[in-house]
Structure 1
Amino acid sequence: MLVGLLFAASLVPVLSVETPAMIDYVNHLARMHLLVDAAAGHPNPAYEIDWQLYPNLAIDLIVPLAARFVSVETATRLFLLVSQTLVVSGAIALELKVRGRHQLSGFAALIALYSLPFLWGLLNWEFGCGVALWAIVFWIHFRGGPWVFLVGLHTCFFITLFFAHLFALGIYGLTIGCYEASQIRGYPQAVRIFVAMAFPAVAAYLFLVWSGGAPEQQDFTWWFGLKLVWPLMVMNCYNISLSIALGVSVAGLLVFLGYHRILGLTRPAVFIGSGFLVVYLLMPARLFGSAYADVRLIPAIMLILPAFFTVHWPSAAVRSVAALVAVSIILINVANVASVWSAYRSDYAEIIMSFGLLRANSTILVARSDVEAGRINAPMFYAPTLAVHYATSFVPSLYTLSGQQPVRKSASKSAFEMQDALDYLPTTISQLNSASAGGTAPSHVRAWRTDYDYLYIVGDQPESIPDRLTSMMRGRRFTLYAIGK
């Protein structure tokens, strides 16, 4: 009952706004508009729809179908709600399957629900995590059944996760691999499980090589120093101090549980926890064009590992204290998210209003101040991409990563292709000034004065801006300029 009430409270932020103030959310929303507009016979000439059997297509496949019955905004929010429901219910179902009762996983899932990777608006990743949890449940349930049936079931989940999100597929594979390693009692069993797990993976790899559908971004970057601090910074996307406080509270709760010897380690828990730790330490921060790949493992282990602990409460008082701390962490984080999202309602309304000032088929550049480091303004970074729908404009910041989205820049816009996935972030003012002086700058902004018609500066207004800009509208978190030729 308590977990159900907490889950209902956790859905309030999504239900109370039309556009959740997640960093990547508005970028995905803009792409959903492009797909729906094109299907309705109103394509944006600056973009091409290019459907191929790429991974990471969950939202692109589901939302346009749902948008036949509701608005694109509502369909995208429904996708987020379904993803959150899959995550929480999957974690609880895993604990019920492994231990026969629910004690920890619901609380752990709700603590993780608005952690940093989910709160960034990585929608396919969150949906894929939910599917992966249910796939793990079914694997454990049917692992003792007929081998052919297990291979078929595993293949179905493998394909589903492949098209949902590759990282979610990795979480599924890592978990069942570690679980099976903890259960192996002989060589024949190990071979049987390895064949069952490897068959769809080998087939998928061969298919990607044959189809050319593998992501083109092959960069691998490690930020080892951050691996030590992410557990404290992962709890909240908007407020570092709050994130650290919540992270310390979670750590304190674990120490409390350990002091009272409430949690016991099972053999699968040791194998799964060790496997995730090793992968976290070795995982690059940037993988196949996606940033912060290693951070995603933190909420994943929060969703999975609690199901494999044994739990013994020494007294009702100890249990009540632990529940109180967990409930407080959940509600404080949800309240902060609800407050931030509510504050952004007027900002998104303002920027949509500004699109009415734009000339149709114009080209828009997005920039930010060099000192713009506050997380609180980050949800505005991709808000101008909505102009691809409201003003039929071209905004290079819209995600068109090869092998990841079914939307491409048209051939006439090939000069605006991003050389690095991080270039999709707003350009800094110093980069604009450097480009104007013939200095170093990303390729898509080197001739920004002639290539673009309008400039949005998002976040805090810088003290100095390039010359020959005419202010057209100033909102609380953005300023729109016309670029003088």
Structure 2
Amino acid sequence: MGEKLHWWQTRWFVVAMALAATIPLLWPDIPPLVDLPGHMARYRVSLVIGDNPWLHRWYDFRWSLIGNLGIDLLVIPLAHLMGLEPAVKLIVIAIPVLTVTGLLWIAREVHGRIPATALFALPLAYSYPFQFGFVNFALSMALALNLFAWWLRLARLGRLRFRALVFVPVSCALWVCHTFGWGVLGVLAFSAEMIRQHDLRKDRQGGHWLESWIRAGLGCIPLALPMALMIFWRSGDHVTGQTADWFNWNAKYSWVLMVLRDRWMLWDILSACVLFAILVKGVRDKRIVYSRNLALSAAFLAAMFLLLPRIVFGSAYADMRLAPFVLAIAVIALRPRPGVSMRSMATLAMLGLAFWGARLAGTTWSYWLYDQRYDSVLTALDKLPDRARVVSFVGRRCQDDWAYSRLEHVPGLLLERKLAYTNDQWSMAGAQQLTARYFAAGGYAHDPSQVVTDRRCRGEWWRPIAMSLNNFPRNAFDYVWLLNPPVFDPALVKGMTPIWSNGRDTLYRIDDRTQPPPVLLPHPRRNGASVVR
């Protein structure tokens, strides 16, 4: 018989941690993730455009096989069962749950038991990319972690033929969810196969790394079919989007510090430092050692993070998305050396559990505050008729404040709830199914026209609020919705009637459609390309 399991190694503990991961998202009606309301608007269009053909005057929606369809596809059956907003909430709740189960499952497969140090990785279920609302990406990464654990388990059980067969369709499905998840699964599987093949060769022939590399590549062929899908996707004439901003070391350094970014800068950075301290402990503490398997996986992911540009095919923050998972794999790579006292490991497990609980409490409070803000601004929708044409302007500063207002894509809920026109949708062919075609709106048809500032911001497309309020085409819109706007001259809203207000947030009805003379400001040089998320 094996050694008795400790409390953090049992199945009930894994179940408890998975359930705990749902806590921050239980209260908010809409998960307060920056980009999510904009994505919800697209989901609504996909569901109703067939019954509302007039939407074609504003948007072009075309289903196509792209590597970014995870939640877009899942909401179709679920929305018919429970409604769109509950369906989205259910899927989003599943993301941190699957992230937790994936990390703990990988740790168990590699180490045989869940090491106490693995608990410190659990707060990364609410990492910065998730907070930003990269939901298809986050879902694909959560699935990739669980699929990698399954990959390891099938190898441990010697079911290699079955693994080769089943991972052909599974890898394709993961690619459809989001390309990034498929790529990360490939990296993790390849590194694990290298170690497995090396150990097999070592026992038989002395173990040559080059041979192990080749055999690992052959073993990962079942994961390769999505490469053909990728070529098909990116070779069409409809595809746009640049790849840019390589080797931005300052940004990469910032992404590492921001892995747990949410609301309180000091708290989030100190929490990240706890992870760094655990990794250092693995090097300096003789009681703890790194698994070769996961250490190599973390090294490969770290290399990807360093080599990736900030913008890939027009998709922003490509490198930032990977940083939390490099740390997560590195943390779960740690395990106690044989013979180490379990009392010291139990103490470490309690500290890890306390860290996870503290992060959960902070995220729950933060989400409650964001939900209160959402509830206050969304009362404006009661003043709007269905199918209204609304231009929204959401204020922000040129400086990247640690705590986002998370209002940048709240205007998308106008489209999601009222089927109203909203100017916050991303519009880049080939990156998603929906593009804006409301030509009367001109330069105020899509993201980032909804973002306004008090002045020109170097390196950004955002307009100053004075320019936006003066220049937007009044004939194209019925209402103006200001959310957290910078200070502006009241003369700029002449001819508009406020019909709702909540502090600085105001909804105006456009009564006078006389177009003021245009205001033109020089635009600073921009480093990079138009981006989507």
Sort the TM-score into its range (normalised by shorter chain).
0.7 to 0.9
2: CA distance, partners of 1:347 / 1:73: 18
Aligned to 1:260: 285
| Greater mean alpha carbon deviation, residues 71-80 or residues 33-42 | 33-42
The equivalences for 1:86-485 within 5 A come to 86-104=98-116, 107-143=119-155, 149-182=162-195, 183-184=197-198, 185=201, 190-195=213-218, 197=220, 199-208=224-233, 215-222=239-246, 223-312=248-337, 314-358=340-384, 360-370=387-397, 373-410=400-437, 412=439, 415-416=442-443, 423=448, 426-430=451-455, 447-448=472-473, 451-459=476-484, 461-465=485-489, 467-469=491-493, 470=496, 471-475=498-502, 478-482=505-509, 485=513
* SS class of match (1:472): strand
Q: Distance in 1 between matches of 2:179 and 2:261?
A: 24
Query: For the structure 1 residues 384 and 139, does the alpha-carbon distance in structure 2 shift closer, same or farther, using more than 3 Å as the test?
Result: same
- How far has the Cα of 1:44 moved from its partner? 3.2
CA distance in 2 between counterparts of 1:311 and 1:99 reads 10
When structure 1 is superposed on structure 2, of 271-280 and 366-375 the one drifting more is 366-375
Q: 1:25 — aligned with what?
A: 36
**Residues 1:37 and 2:64 are matched in the alignment:** no
CA contact (8 A) 2:121 2:332 kept: no
Match in the other structure for 2:205 = none
Q: Identify if the C-alpha distance between structure 1 residues 134 and 345 changes in structure 2 by more than 3 Å, giving closer, same or farther.
A: closer
Conserved in 2, the CA contact under 8 Å of 1:91 and 1:307?
yes
| C-alpha distance after superposition, 1:397-456 (max 9, x if no partner) | 12343223222324656845889x7x366132435876977xxx9xx9964555444333
Q: 1 CA distance for matches of 2:504 and 2:309?
A: 33
Q: Which residue of 1 aligns with 2:85?
A: 73
| 2:21 match | 10
Partner of 2:94: 82
- Supply the distance in 2 between the matched residues of 1:180 and 1:96 (Cα, whole angstroms): 17
1:33 to partner: Cα distance: 2.3
User: 2: distance between equivalents of 1:467 and 1:473?
Assistant: 18
Task: Sort the Cα spacing of 1:181 and 1:362 in 2 relative to 1 into closer, same or farther, 3 A.
Answer: same
| Structure 1 equivalent of residue 529 of structure 2 | none
Three-state SS of the structure 1 residue aligned to 2:352 is: helix
Q: Compare 444-453 and 102-111 and name the one that shifted more.
A: 444-453
**When the two structures are superposed, what TM-score results if normalisation uses the length of structure 1?**
0.86
The amino acid of 1:314's aligned partner reads V
| 1:91 and 1:133 in contact (8 A); partners too | yes
Q: 2:69 aligns with which of 45, 57, 67?
A: 57
Partner Cα distance (2:34, 2:295) in 1: 35
> In 2 relative to 1, CA 411–462 (structure 1 residues): closer, same or farther, beyond 3 Å?
closer
Q: Is the 8 A contact 1:111 1:326 kept in 2?
A: no
Query: Matched residues in 2 for 1:18 and 1:161: separation?
Result: 28
Give the greater-gyration-radius structure (CA): 2
Q: Which moved more, 1:342-351 or 1:428-437?
A: 428-437
Using the alignment, how far apart are the partners of 2:127 and 2:153 within structure 1? 29
Does 328-337 or 178-187 show the bigger shift? 178-187
CA distance in 1, matches of 2:358, 2:449: 32
Range that drifts further, 366-375 or 141-150: 141-150
| Structure 1 range deviating more: 294-303 or 140-149 | 140-149
Q: CA deviation at 1:142?
A: 3.7
The aligned amino acid for 1:384 is: P
Identity of paired residues, percent?
21
Taking only aligned residues, the RMSD between alpha carbons, in angstroms, comes to 3.3
2:405 aligned counterpart, secondary structure: helix
- What is the deviation of 1:466? 6.4
CA contact (8 A) 1:181 1:271 kept: no
The amino acid that maps onto 2:491 is D
Conserved? CA contact 1:365–1:452, under 8 Å: no
> Contact conserved, 1:154 with 1:196, CA < 8 A, in 2?
no
Which AA in structure 1 matches 2:486?
A: P
1:79 Cα deviation from its structure 2 partner: 0.5
Correspondence for 2:523: none
CA deviation vs aligned residue, 1:206-256 (integer Å, no higher than 9, x gap) = 43256557x521232133112223322221222222111111222234444
How far is 1:383 from its partner?
0.6
Which moves more between the two structures, 388-397 or 358-367?
Answer: 358-367
